Structure 1
Amino acid sequence: MTDHPRHVPMLDILRYAQGASRVDVVLDGFVNYHFVTTPPASSVAPKLMLEAGINPAAMVGGPDGQRRPVISLRSSPWKAGHASNPWHDEFDLDHGHVRYYGDHKPTTVGLPGATVGNRALLDAWALHAATDPRRRRQAPPLLLYRSVTVRRNGRNLVKGHIEFCGVAVIERLEHVVQRDPETGRSFPNLVLDLAVIDLADTGDALDLRWIDDRRDPSLDCVQADRHAPDAWSRWVRDGRSAIPRVRRRVVSSRVRSAEDQLPPAGSVAEDLLDRLYRYFDGRKHAFEMLAARVSAQILGGSGGRYHAGWLTRPGGDGGVDFVGRLDVGTPANNTPLVVLGQAKCIRPSSSISPDQVARVVARLRRGWLGVFVTTGIFSRQAQIEVIDDQYPLVLVDGRTLAEQVLRMVAADHDGDLGALLDSVLTDYDLAVTYRRPDEILLA
């Protein structure tokens, strides 16, 4: 648990007992689920039970109309494959995705909306998929829990303990036909793709005062969201297009902070980066020549043989500023890779967005490699998308650029930055041409 007793961290294990007291904070060594889900000022409010897989809270009549405060989903992996639960929910919390099956069973009569749980999900889907922010604000958040096995007093207990798996919005809902593994009978059901949202603004934990407010009939929908996660508020405002930005992702250690992407304060590299920005700010097309040289030095130093190509004409480059080739292998046994480069001369404190990175990635074909060189930094989200989606794209930030230029100046220009910059301008006009990127394979 976090310092606040009603903030529930992601992956925290809670003790769930149907008849447990709401007053006890801890039960059998674990935080008491009924304590954290009970509003302190309303001990008579109905409990938020988790007896079923899908547990919709009772509707509330607020000043602006009826709303369902929350739907709690519980997945029981130990039941998967049994008659009572012949399907397997999939949890990928590191990438903010859960695939969850509805509660229709082989013995259920009627269509998938015949059960209370599936009916609540269908109603929620109509609000989660709404194009109007006012309707999305009425949408119930989905709280996710997963049953876990704990060991206590030398015994493995498969019941009575749940793991909090976050808050989700419904990204997609489908009607499917499943087959009962015991009887072989087929039956219809619902399956949902859920986007688990980022809770970073509250320390990767849920502030349950939000759910309290949503259950309070004296508050309208806007007031009830005063403790909502930032990611939820962004989704309410922007809808489906916001999901890639608000989805939970466990950041890889490869993601670099803004501080790590810039030279240390007061260093020679910081002064050089500032000089580069000021020099190329009025001649940003010429910066492409420097970026091409830096890319050649980085890729050529990786063990392959780099062949410089050309610069594209200013305007209409479609996300490509320079073209090169990297031959990987021995001279007799190698494969050539087309290299597409993008250069952005921006203020060192500015960042490159995911959309800018996506423009380069969109031009890459199978077996091609991308390089993005900037005097600034890459946003956290841009880096995450490159890493998670495994894009073949090398990101060269301001710090790396400055370090590489310092090496070039020392090795080829006797420490004279001006001489390097003069050579960049001289070579720029000669390097610009109009050719297809794949022609580099014939060079």
Structure 2
Amino acid sequence: MNNFEEQSKNLFLKQSFQKPGLVDWLQEERKPLATNLKLNFLKVRQVLVKIATNQLIRQKEEIKKQIEELSKQQVELDQKEEELKKRKELESLSEKELKLKNTENYNVAVLSKTLPPLDQYKKLNLSEVEFVKRLRLYILAPIDLHRYGYPWEREDGSVSVYLHRFKRRKHSNFSSRCSLEHLCVRCDRPFHVDVSGEYFTKEECIFHWGKFKERFTCCGGERDSEGCDRNKLHVWNGIIEGVNGPYTDFLCTQPRPDKSDIEAKVYALDCEMCYTGRGVEVAKVSLVGYDGQVVYDHFVKPTCEVVDYCTRFSGVTAKDLCEVQNKNLKTFAEVQKDLLQLIDADTILIGHSLENDMRVLKIVHKTVVDTADEFPHPFGFPYRHSLKNLTKEYLKRDIQCGNNGHDSAEDSRACLELIMWKVHNNMPPKLPKELIK
């Protein structure tokens, strides 16, 4: 009986729960609750994501500020490192190359670019001391220094310059007793200017800037044709034909206290020039060492107003000689002082027609090797080969090719290589010095 009741009860319950729709109703009742829980969870998660995003943005901004500060510090460190590097280079130059005793007030300007090694320097396999010994055979004789127009010292300590007549003047009968009257070196017209460089003749100069070879090389004009170029004023060289001087503002290179060959130096020198009321003045000077690297390179402030910068040839512009635009511009007195610290009486200077450079620098120096003398023109003095042609013929290289004028450092190096070429090929001097009368 009891078993029967138990079985009936179980059957009733089983049939009751198997009625259609009961389970579905229970599931439908639970759905809104689950959905609300999911929505609340997503909202909380969204808020947490926003908080984390804001934190990342703030961290990114802080990192950006730190990077900017580190960049500024790096720039400052790089500048300090560059300054220290330049100081070390200057100290190295002053100790090893220049060997100057007083370097506190002396500034050396070295070109920012490093020039490639010299080919002839590699082939010579000579030290600078040995090279100096070989060069003594090529030093100009005193009579040649005078004949070519180098400044020479008188017995009373003053300096004179002798200038030959280099070309036939149109005004062959021109002779003026007035010291203020000069002939223009371009158009041969007379004009007046005083010793301070002030012009009294305000007249435009019309001239050919090229050389005459059957026709003018500048424009192809005939000999009597009107000039193809103009300048606001006439110009002159600052010296006249014959003996010039005596000058008292020239300086002489001083002898070394130690005469050993260890201290002997050799440099190649070249200047770029411009015209002022006082004649030709130096605008830039370059000095190249035995290894072919630039030792000294500076623009020079003229002593009076520039009449013509001669940019076509010199490469010098008004900006280069302006104190406001060129902070490294030096005065003529400063350049003279610097050069005399580098060059002593025994230093061998190499250059092309170096008498012009010595005149504008107002320096008397007797130990000179001149490429114009060692590679003479077949017609003899005063005819001379150009440095460009000599470099092309003997070194198989072109120089002065740009449209911005000459580079005095490039010209100095070409002179050095020409003499090295002659030494390397065991070429004797132009004439034995004992045969020169």
TM > 0.5? no
Under a length normalisation based on structure 2, what TM-score does the superposition of the two structures give? 0.21
| Structure having greater relative contact order (Cα 8 Å, sep ≥ 6) | 2
Kindly indicate which of the two structures has a greater share of residues assigned to helix: 2
Kindly indicate which of the two structures has a greater share of residues assigned to strand: 1
